[in-house]
Chains A and B, each alone.
Chain A
Amino acid sequence: MITLTSSDGQTFDVDEVVAVKMQTIKHLMEDGCAESGIPVPNVTGKILAKVIDFCKKHVETAKAEELRAWDADFIKVDQVTLYDLVMAANYLECKRLLDLTCQRVADMIKGKSPEDIREIFNIKNDFTPEEEEKIRKANQWAFE
Chain B
Amino acid sequence: MPTSFMTKLSTDCMRKKRRFRRKKKQSQIECTAGKKERARVPSAEGESHISELSDEILVSILSRLTVREAVRTSVLSNRWRYVWTCIPVLNFDAKDKFLRLYHTSRGDEYNSSQSGFVDKYNYSNCVSSVLAQYRGPNVDEFRVCCDLDNAYSSHIDGWIEFALSNRVHTIELSLSIWPQPSCEKSYRLRSLESNMFVGFKSLKTLSLKAVNVDDEAIEYFLSNCPLLERLFLHGNHALRNLKVVGSSLMLRSLEVERCRFLETVEIYDTNLVSFTYVGKEPKTMILKNAPQLVEVSIDPCGSMLCARAMFSKLSCCFSQLRILRLTFWHFEQEKLTNYMLPELKNLKQFVLVVRRWSNESLLGFLAMIKNWPNLQRFVLQLKCVGFHIHDRERKPTRERNAETERKATKAYVREAARYYHPCLKMVEIAGYCSTCDFELFLQIIENTVTLEKIIIDTRDPNRYNDNDNESEKFYRELHSGEKRRLRTLVSPEVKLVIL
Contacts and interface: CB of A to CB of B under 8 A. Distances in A.
Contacts of B76: 114, 117-118, 123, 125
6 contacts: A87-B53, A90-B56, A103-B64, A106-B62, A123-B47, A144-B100
8 A-B pairs with least C-beta separation = A106-B64, A122-B48, A142-B71, A121-B50, A83-B49, A87-B39, A102-B61, A105-B61
Interface of B: 25, 36-37, 39-40, 46-54, 56-57, 60-62, 64-65, 68-69, 71-81, 99-101, 122, 126, 129-130, 133
Main secondary structure of the interface of B (DSSP, over half): helix
Given A42-B39, A86-B53, A123-B80, A135 B48 contact: no
A98 B64 CA distance: 12
A132 B46 CA distance: 21
Contacts, number: 103
Interface string A95-118: 000100011011001110110011
Contact of B65 (A87, A106, A141): A106
A114 B76 CA distance: 6
Interface of A: 24, 42, 79-80, 83, 86-87, 90-91, 93, 98, 102-103, 105-106, 109-111, 113-114, 117-118, 121-127, 132, 135-136, 138-139, 141-144
A126 B48 CA distance: 12
A47 B57 CA distance: 18
Contacts of A122: 48-50
Contacts of A144: 100-101
B50 A139 contact: no
Contacts of A139: 71, 74, 129-130, 133
A22 to B, nearest CB: 12
Nearest to B81: A135
B64 A143 contact: no
Contacts of A111: 69
B71 A123 contact: no
Contact of A83 (B50, B62, B77, B126): B50
B100 A123 contact: no
Contacts of B62: 106
A114 B39 CA distance: 25
B65 A123 contact: no
Nearest to A81: B49
A42 B53 CA distance: 13
A87 B74 CA distance: 22
A141 B75 contact: no
B73 A114 contact: yes
